[in-house]
Amino acid sequence: MQTSTFIDQPIKKAENRTKYYFRKFFQRKTAVIAAVIILIFLFFAIFGPQIAPFDPSLPDYDNLYGAPDAVHWFGTDEFGRDVLSRLLVGTRNSLGVSLASVLIGAAIGTFLGVLAGYYGGIIDSVVMRGSDILFAMPDILLAIAIVAIIGPGIINVVIAVAVFTIPSFARIMRSATLSVKSSLYVEAARSIGCKNSRILWVHIFPSTIQSMIVNFTMRIGTAILAAASLSFLGYGAKVDEPDWGAMLSSGRNYLDIAPHLVYFPGLLIFIAVLAFNLLGDGLRDTLDPKLK
Amino acid sequence: MSENNLLKVENLRTEFKISRKKSVAAVSDITFEINKGEIVGLVGESGCGKSVTSLSIIRLLNDTSGEITHGSVWFKGSNLLKLSDEEMRQIRGKEIAMIFQEPMTSLNPVLRIDNQLIEAIQLHTEYTKQEAREHALETLRSVGIPDPERVSRCYPHQLSGGMSQRVMIAMAMSCYPDLLIADEPTTALDVTIQAQILDLMQGIRNTRGTSILLITHDLGIVAETCSRVYVMYAGRIIEEAPVDILFSDPSHPYTQGLIASIPKLGLEAESLPFIPGSVPDITMMPGGCRFHPRCRYAMEICSQKEPELISINESQKCRCWLKTSEYSIKTENGESRK
């Protein structure tokens, strides 16, 4: 069919996408540092019990409220338990709760948001008004209300935090879907006879993942805070289970005689939230095609 | 409907909602037909309703506030506007395919070329993935893509505009549709690639007998490829003519203005003739003939009543009062010219 000389440009040699993103990401020092910190936390979450120098629940009544020293780096608490060991072991609880809740919230929120953005109309109205209602309440109050209804416990904390994570994902994914939906290749997909479901999950969804990843990291920070706050208020883990928020809560009673009981859990929560937020910023800058 | 007829659009009217109660007609009273194996041009300025017409034919207006309120689209004996969504989906891509103006953005950036082609093929055939892949490579080869194996493993951003448009054509042609709607297929491409793509489309027509509706604003492309042309202005078809007559003897004042404004080689002129004024806003269409505020032959009747599209000879139709029996004599005497 094509007989004459073919003078199309040759195919551009494109850099491997993954490599490109890695290169861009490594240019952002703060994000890299944040990622390293998160990796360290993840390491603690997995191997915390193994590397903890002491049994986290072993009391030592000779050494109550011990200040930080060479043996107990972070000091001991009101039962003489090693604070460092409790923090290390508690990492799994605190990170696990926030990760699980954000995962659940993200899955539900994304699903609803994508549907709302794509189909519009009544689905859109219901989903968006629903998230408006959830948004209208302060995060932590909402979580407390949910836990108050379904009762305390780790699983219920996960559910509570997940619920208030849903609307942010629903909103972000809806707007991402809306912007991709009107693109020409979606129309082209429809012009070859694609079904709605296929257009939605094969053609639109992959292009919106970037916004989801960024929001995901950001929300983990919020979720850590929320989970810690709930444990602080006594709705989360059992008293004897190590948990950052719960440790902060019990330490507060001895603030005047053993301030290290509050400093270290608080510092850890602060660092974890900051690291996740900085990583989210870095990922956004890396993945946003508009910021070259 | 004659044997040879493939598509016949009758009195199509598509309206867009601009507020809760108000809607405006982007196109109305659109009547045209395409015969088997024919390349028909649909020309007009930006915003005159060319794309709305094409999207109405394959019913892709869902995402907009557009709605077809009147008329019928006969394709192979069935009215497309009466089909269910599922039946229409079966026709899209299989019987009627479409290629778009911007090849670079018509392909999904996150999917590889082969996956997009295989998807298009598997939607309408019973092919296994392997068979579909072979068919995809075959189609890529037939649209003049060298080394289809390599191209098929590329992502869209690795291809040039011309290559992307070839891939789009391959995708559109993969199920051998009877009608290809090409919405400004070469506008985003440079001139040498334009010529190749037009050659390719003509080649497809010659080998497969595919009818093509070519939507463009470029009269040069029309002259090169089409056999018949419909000229649109402000949501109306104002003239229909075989391509040679359109250029030698245009009947509507608008078409005459268009043809006159084409620069001619070797002709030295101070400035090109042009049509004064601009296309009317869709919400504020002038009464009567929509072209009358810009028309140098405008008469009183032109602002009062809209003319019908009438046959002026066996192959040419025109929507102008000048061509009707009551008013044509007057103009020849020059009485009612302003």
Per domain, the residue ranges of chain B are: 5-226, 233-333
Q: Which residue in B has a C-alpha nearest to residue A188's C-alpha? A: B106
> What number is the average pLDDT over the span A204-212?
84
Q: What is the pLDDT of residue A126?
A: 93
Whether A188 has its CB under 8 Å from any CB of chain B: the answer is yes
State pLDDT tens for residues B290-318: 888 888 888 888 888 888 888 888 889 99
Q: What is the dotted CATH code of the domain comprising A84-287?
A: 1.10.3720.10
How many beta carbons lie within 10 A of that of residue A270, not counting itself? 12
Residue B189 token pair:
């491409």
Quote the crossing angle between the two packed helices B161-173 and B113-124, to the nearest 10°: 20
Distant-in-sequence, close-in-space partners of B258: CB < 8 Å, separation ≥ 6: B43, B219, B231, B250, B275
Beta bridge partners of B239: B231, B318
**What confidence category does residue B13 fall into, taking pLDDT thresholds of 50, 70 and 90?**
very high
The helix/strand/coil state of B41 is strand
How many CA atoms lie within 13 Å of A50's alpha carbon, on the beta-carbon side? Answer: 5
Beta bridge partners of A76: A82
Q: What is the pLDDT of residue A255?
A: 82
Q: CB of B198 within 8 A of CB of B225?
A: yes
Under DSSP, the state recorded for B321 is G
> What number is the average pLDDT over the span A82-102?
86
**What confidence category does residue A291 fall into, taking pLDDT thresholds of 50, 70 and 90?**
low
Question: Which of residues 71 through 100 in chain B touch A, CB cutoff 8 A?
Answer: 89-94, 97-98, 100
d(CA B216, CA B101): 9
Distant-in-sequence, close-in-space partners of B184: CB < 8 Å, separation ≥ 6: B51, B100, B101, B215, B216, B217
The helix/strand/coil state of B47 is coil
Whether A181 has its CB under 8 Å from any CB of chain B: the answer is yes
**What confidence category does residue B34 fall into, taking pLDDT thresholds of 50, 70 and 90?**
very high
Q: What is the ipTM of this complex?
A: 0.78
State pLDDT tens for residues B139-163: 898 888 888 899 888 888 888 888 8
Query: Which of A2, A191, A206 has the CB atom closest to B60's CB atom?
Result: A191
- How many contacts, defined by CB atoms under 8 Å, are there between A and B? 109
**What confidence category does residue A3 fall into, taking pLDDT thresholds of 50, 70 and 90?**
very low
**Phi, psi angle pair for B222, to nearest 5°:** -60, -45
The helix/strand/coil state of B244 is helix
Q: CB of B238 within 8 A of CB of B291?
A: yes
SS percent in chain B: helix, strand, coil, step 5: 40, 20, 40
**What confidence category does residue B336 fall into, taking pLDDT thresholds of 50, 70 and 90?**
very low
Asked if A11 lies within 8 A of B203 by C-beta distance, the reply is no
Whether A121 has its CB under 8 Å from any CB of chain B: the answer is no
Under DSSP, the state recorded for B337 is -
Indicate the CATH number of B5-226 among 3.40.718.10, 1.10.3720.10, 3.20.20.70, 3.40.50.300. Answer: 3.40.50.300
Question: Which residues in chain B touch residue A206, judged by CB atoms under 8 angstroms apart?
Answer: 110-111
Per domain, the residue ranges of chain A are: 84-287
Residue B326 token pair:
């009551």
d(CA A68, CA A55): 17
- Please state which of the ranges B163-167, B176-180, B272-276, B329-333 shows the lowest mean pLDDT: B329-333
d(CA A145, CA A139): 10
**What confidence category does residue B214 fall into, taking pLDDT thresholds of 50, 70 and 90?**
very high
**What confidence category does residue B1 fall into, taking pLDDT thresholds of 50, 70 and 90?**
low
Flag whether pLDDT at B40 surpasses 50: yes
Q: What percent of chain B has pLDDT over 70?
A: 95
User: What's the mean pLDDT when you consider all of chain B?
Assistant: 86
Whether A292 has its CB under 8 Å from any CB of chain B: the answer is no
The helix/strand/coil state of B206 is helix
Q: What is the pLDDT of residue B338?
A: 35
Residue B233 token pair:
């202005």
Q: What is the pLDDT of residue A190?
A: 86
Query: Which of A1, A12, A194 has the CB atom closest to B200's CB atom?
Result: A1
Quote the crossing angle between the two packed helices A154-181 and A83-119, to the nearest 10°: 40
> What number is the average pLDDT over the span B127-137?
91
Query: What b/e readout covers B159-196, taking b as 16+ CB neighbours within 10 angstroms?
Result: bbbbbbbbbbbbbbbbbebbbbbbbbbbbbbeeebbeb
d(CA A265, CA A246): 9
SS percent in chain A: helix, strand, coil, step 5: 70, 0, 25
